[in-house]
Chain A
Amino acid sequence: MSARVLVGVKRVIDYAVKIRVRPDHTGVVTDGVKHSMNPFCEIAVEEAVRLKEKKLVKEIVAVSCGPQQVQETIRTALAMGADRGIHVEVSGKDYDALGPLQVSKIMAALAKKEEADLIILGKQAIDDDCNQTGQMTAALLDWPQGTFASELTLEGGMLKVVREIDGGLETIKIKMPAVVTADLRLNTPRYATLPNIMKAKKKKIANVKPADLGVDVTSRLEVLKVDEPPQRQAGVKVETVEDLVVKLKEAGRI
């Protein structure tokens, strides 16, 4: 199989870090805060590597959009088994305003340029929880999409995707080229081995600008304010079920 897979990896604030809102309420504190690869992107990379180990895929290209620091995230993907990386340079205000619409335009442009057969992304990023990039990318390319994948099988030129949906599991069959987004139970990502970390150093990361891909990264969104979630208020204890019903009606809940 000569398939080429594009995997998007996003650099996000580490899941274990306590998030703090900036004093000017324009965003969250990122300076000096630990960042790592988005957990769903890790799962996406792992799936691509497993496909390559099964010889169903020939080359894995890890892509990330952002400033210099995202190269660390690409290197982690290389250490997990990706073959080469593409760093799409976006920095400063453009990076602060970067969202799914721009990223999906970039991914679509790269997919055409690299002649990709499959794009695997995480279902969403843990910082913005948008859950849009995969879907938008598929739409821009007019490719089928298998989102919230908990199981992925390649059969001929077709993909069988088991999707996690509200009602349970849905199995679909889609033609390649296609976009798949990884859900939690798709796999358990591997730890990079020391030899692979060494090999990652020699793998190439190409630098490219959005303008080179014909993509305008100006945002159509303006963040007005960022606040912490409201402090949880103390509850009220009631004596009887009747009191409870009265209170719920008062609060407009029933």
Chain B
Amino acid sequence: MAALFKARRALGMVVGHGVRCLTQLAELPELHQMMRQTCRDYAQKELAPIAAQLDKDHMFPAKQVQELGAMGVMAVEVPESLGGAGMDYLAYCLAVEELSRGCASTGVIVSVNNSLYLGPILKFGTEEQKQQWITPFTTGEKVGCFALSEPGNGSDAGAASTLARQEGDEWVLNGTKAWITNCWDASATVVFATTDKSLKHKGISAFLVPMPHPGLSLGKKEDKLGIRASSTANIILEDCRVPLGNMLGERGMGFKIAMQTLDSGRLGIAAQALGIAQAALDCAADYAHKRTAFGAPIGKLQAIQFKLADMALAIESARLLTWKAALLRDAKKPFTKEAAMAKLAASEAATFVSHQAIQVLGGMGYVTDMPAERHYRDARITEIYEGTSEIQRLVIANSILKEYQQ
């Protein structure tokens, strides 16, 4: 009897709240459509034409980041009172996808600033910290970064060997962080360090460190396969001192902050992967119309048609997962499983679609004259950072097993 009552109540909740969300999956609200169009226009006019050159020169798109800041895109979810656009996470995902469709590096720069830097401060910071560490980073003048991974641990985030000890009214940080996106162009970072080794992952805390700062130095810029316009390097902390007020959240809360931040950041990367995949599909479909072989455009051949269909299917499926996860997050509902699914689906879609795009283009897909090879190189990292595909599978499996708990 009780079970029946519970089921009826659950149904009521789905119908009451779900209808609005489901409609949003089928057709975006006008606000989101306008926002998406603006970002698409910007990406196609300002990013796509320079993306190849930015990639070749490994150049940070400083001018474009400032323009995006002026548009409000560098701080989509940040409330207007702190200088942001005050929009929801669905809007943010749409923005990152459209921008990444123009330039994947710019997409990740925007994503890291929004989700990995501003995200945790918005959620766990004090009012004072928000004023100091958020507002200057909404305009595009300054960007932030997120320092969790270390040379010794990526997926194994609980094994952080960077240490933080208290000395009087300062925290002193020592250790090395690896693979930090944006770090050569950043003005601040959220760093995770162990404050109590005996508590294992419950002994990690988060700190806000300005950049540059005495005791903080940067390793060499990594020479990457893709997303070359965004900088990636080590952050080395040698007796790096920050005031006590620079701790983000409570002592020992670091792991929780990191995991929650990555849950959201995952969606930003899913959006980036969607943008890359879409750009690769755009390239392949356009080519299928223009290239003739065996007396007709290759788009007439079933082999090519099947590829295009599979590519479009992969993108649309991943996109809907991404939107659903974003909608759940906006509704303040649990979204960990959906976010992991979205990131997994989108990143695998990106690598699949960009791979097939090169195949559709044939020899032309292998040379730098066409963007297909850049999409292929850019896509690869999406299956690795902000949670490898393997980790995503563990997160999903964990969630499923919990649902079926005996």
Contacts and interface: CB of A to CB of B under 8 A. Distances in A.
A194 B41 contact: no
A59 to B, nearest CB: 22
Given A197-B38, A198-B86, A191 B31 contact: no
Contacts of A191: 38, 41-42, 67, 71
Contacts, number: 44
A76 B34 contact: yes
A75 B71 contact: no
Contacts of A76: 34
Nearest to B31: A201
A140 interface: no
A178 interface: no
Interface string B36-47: 001001100000
B70 interface: yes
Interface stretch (B72-80, B161-169, B221-229, B295-303): B72-80
A194 B87 contact: yes
A194 B76 contact: yes
A198 B87 contact: yes
Contacts of A61: none
Nearest to B35: A197
A60 interface: no
A79 B31 CA distance: 10
Contacts of B70: 193
A116 interface: no
A194 B85 contact: yes
B90 to A, nearest CB: 13
Contacts of B31: 197-198, 201
A230 interface: no
A193 B34 contact: no
B30 A194 contact: no
Contacts of A194: 35, 38, 71-73, 76, 85, 87, 91, 95
A21 interface: no
A167 interface: no
A75 B34 contact: yes
What is the predominant secondary structure among interface residues of chain A facing chain B?
A: helix
A29 interface: no
A200 interface: yes
A200 B86 contact: no
Contacts of B30: 72, 75, 201
Contacts of A172: none
A92 interface: no
A195 interface: yes
A248 interface: no
What is the predominant secondary structure among interface residues of chain B facing chain A?
A: helix
A246 interface: no
Nearest to B67: A191
Contacts of B85: 193-195, 198
Nearest to B33: A72
Nearest to B68: A191
Contacts of A72: 30, 34
Contacts of A193: 70-72, 85
A192 interface: yes
Nearest to B44: A16
A79 B34 contact: yes
A198 B95 CA distance: 14
B88 to A, nearest CB: 11
A191 B38 CA distance: 7
A214 to B, nearest CB: 32
Interface string A122-157: 000000000000000000000000000000000000
Nearest to A201: B31
A200 B85 CA distance: 13
Interface string A43-71: 00000000000000000000000000000
Contacts of B42: 191
Nearest to B92: A194
Given A198-B85, A198-B86, A192 B80 contact: no
Interface string A171-206: 000000000000000000001111101101100000
Contacts of A198: 31, 85-87
Interface in B77-116: 80, 85-87, 91, 95
Interface string B239-259: 000000000000000000000
A193 B402 CA distance: 43
Contacts of B86: 195, 198
A195 B80 CA distance: 8
Nearest to B46: A191
Interface string A71-97: 010011001000000000000000000
A20 B80 CA distance: 44
A194 B35 CA distance: 7
A75 B38 CA distance: 12
A165 to B, nearest CB: 29
Interface in B55-74: 67, 70-73
B291 to A, nearest CB: 17
A198 B85 CA distance: 8
A87 to B, nearest CB: 14
Nearest to B41: A191
**Top 8 nearest A-B pairs by Cβ distance?**
A194-B72, A194-B85, A193-B71, A193-B72, A192-B38, A197-B34, A191-B42, A195-B72
Given A195-B85, A198-B86, 16 more contacts: A75-B30, A76-B34, A79-B38, A191-B38, A191-B41, A191-B42, A192-B34, A193-B85, A194-B35, A194-B73, A195-B72, A197-B34, A197-B35, A197-B38, A198-B87, A201-B31
5 contacts: A195-B80, A197-B31, A197-B34, A197-B38, A200-B34
